[in-house]
């Protein structure tokens, strides 16, 4: 699953980068085309100065708003399990309330269903707690090894093996499934993920074909590309498109989303 996730993320990330570069290239290309129209110098300076200033200001403002990687990682580590635990406990409280109500009204069938749901939620909470404990022990073992505390690291290793054995008995994790089941799931998910990623990769490919078509239009002496009014509208449209592309690329590769993808790949 980790390999499939990495391949999918690589293709999608490549698509995002290529799409963003093409949008910025359209903006720069539209400015170059306008400069080739032999317009007055003052008109070119004003248009290029204003549009480039707006684009650079937008990029700088995005960089300033980006959270630092360290603070994002800390929020991720502190919040993931807490949010899951709160959701499960809130759901458990609702089930217990409905269970008491069904018990008072003597609804045996509903009571049995709610008991099964309650048991399942408790099982999930226990599984999350075991996984959290294993991750915490692994961090402590790593710190102990770095500090040269061999005995402490061995104690953490024993506790990790103990909790790992419990998780394996539960069979909640993907790696605990039978080998033939895992291979089948790998094949199905891998085929779907790679096919979807290749379809997504078609987006920048189409954009590159459009770029080639525009170049052919210019080379063949297209009249609309030599009209100053039309090109000013094209420049403004490309500026908006480039700003949106930069914002999307920045959001896709932001530290908080990168940490989320790493955690999902690790699972």
- Is there a domain that residue 264 lies in? no
pLDDT at residue 267 tops 50: no
Instruction: Give the chain as a DSSP string.
Output: -HHHHHHHHHHHHHHHHHHHHHHHHHHHHHHHHHHTT---HHHHHHHHHHHHHHHHHHHHHHHHHSPPHHHHHHHHHHHHHHHHHHHHHHHHHHHHHHHHHHHHHT-HHHHHHHHHHHHHHHHHHHHHHHHHHHHHHHHHHHHHHHHT-HHHHHHHHHHHHHHHHHHHHHT-SGGGS-HHHHHHHHHHHHHHHHHHHHHHHHHHHHHHHHHHHHHHHHHTT-SGGG-HHHHHHHHHHHHHHHHHHHHHHHHHT-HHHHHHHHHHHH-
**Residue 236: band (very low, low, confident or very high) from pLDDT cuts 50, 70, 90:** very high
pLDDT at residue 4 tops 50: yes
pLDDT tens digit sequence for 25-73: 989 988 888 888 888 888 889 999 999 999 999 988 888 876 555 444 5
- Is there a domain that residue 263 lies in? no
For residue 54, the enclosing domain spans: 2-253
SS3 for 166-187 is HHHHHCCCHHHCCHHHHHHHHH
Instruction: Give 97-113 as a DSSP string.
Output: HHHHHHHHHT-HHHHHH
Q: Tokens 């699972």 belong to which residue?
A: 267
- Is there a domain that residue 265 lies in? no
How far, in Å, CA of 36 to CA of 44, rounded? 10
- Is there a domain that residue 71 lies in? yes
- Is there a domain that residue 258 lies in? no
Q: For residue 173, what pLDDT is reported?
A: 60
**Residue 79: band (very low, low, confident or very high) from pLDDT cuts 50, 70, 90:** very low
Highest mean pLDDT among 156-170, 179-193, 242-256: 242-256
Tell me if 30 sits within 8 A of 240, measured CB to CB: no
- Is there a domain that residue 259 lies in? no
pLDDT tens digit sequence for 204-232: 888 888 888 888 877 787 777 788 888 88
Total count of domains within the chain:
1
pLDDT tens digit sequence for 94-146: 877 887 787 777 777 777 777 887 777 777 777 777 777 878 888 888 888 88
User: Taking the model in full, what pTM does it have?
Assistant: 0.56
Q: For residue 13, what pLDDT is reported?
A: 86
- Is there a domain that residue 193 lies in? yes
Query: How many residues are recorded in the chain?
Result: 267
- Is there a domain that residue 260 lies in? no
């Amino acid at each position: 699953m980790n390999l499939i996730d990495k391949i999918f993320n690589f293709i999608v990330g490549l698509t995002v980068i290529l799409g963003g570069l093409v949008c910025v290239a359209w903006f720069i290309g539209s400015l170059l085309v306008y400069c080739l129209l032999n317009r007055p110098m003052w008109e070119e300076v004003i248009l290029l100065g204003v549009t480039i200033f707006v684009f650079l200001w937008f990029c700088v403002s995005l960089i300033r708003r980006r959270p630092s990687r360290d603070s994002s990682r800390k929020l991720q580590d502190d919040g993931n399990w807490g949010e899951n635990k709160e959701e499960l406990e809130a759901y458990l409280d609702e089930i217990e309330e409905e269970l008491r109500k069904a018990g008072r009204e003597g609804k045996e069938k509903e009571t049995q269903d709610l008991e099964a749901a309650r048991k399942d939620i408790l099982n999930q909470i226990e599984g999350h707690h075991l996984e959290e404990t294993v991750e915490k022990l692994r961090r402590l073992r790593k710190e102990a090894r770095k500090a040269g505390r061999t005995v402490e690291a061995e104690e953490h290793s024993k506790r990790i093996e103990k909790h790992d054995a419990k998780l394996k008995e539960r069979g909640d994790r993907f790696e605990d499934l039978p080998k033939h089941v895992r291979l089948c799931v790998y094949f199905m998910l891998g085929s779907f993920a790679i096919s979807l990623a290749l379809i997504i990769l078609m987006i920048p490919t189409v954009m590159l074909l459009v770029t080639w078509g525009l170049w052919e239009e210019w080379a063949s002496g297209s009249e609309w590309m030599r009209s100053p009014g039309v090109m000013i509208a094209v420049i403004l449209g490309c500026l908006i498109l480039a700003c949106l592309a930069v914002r999307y690329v920045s959001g896709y590769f932001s530290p908080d989303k990168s940490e989320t993808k790493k955690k999902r790949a690790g699972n």
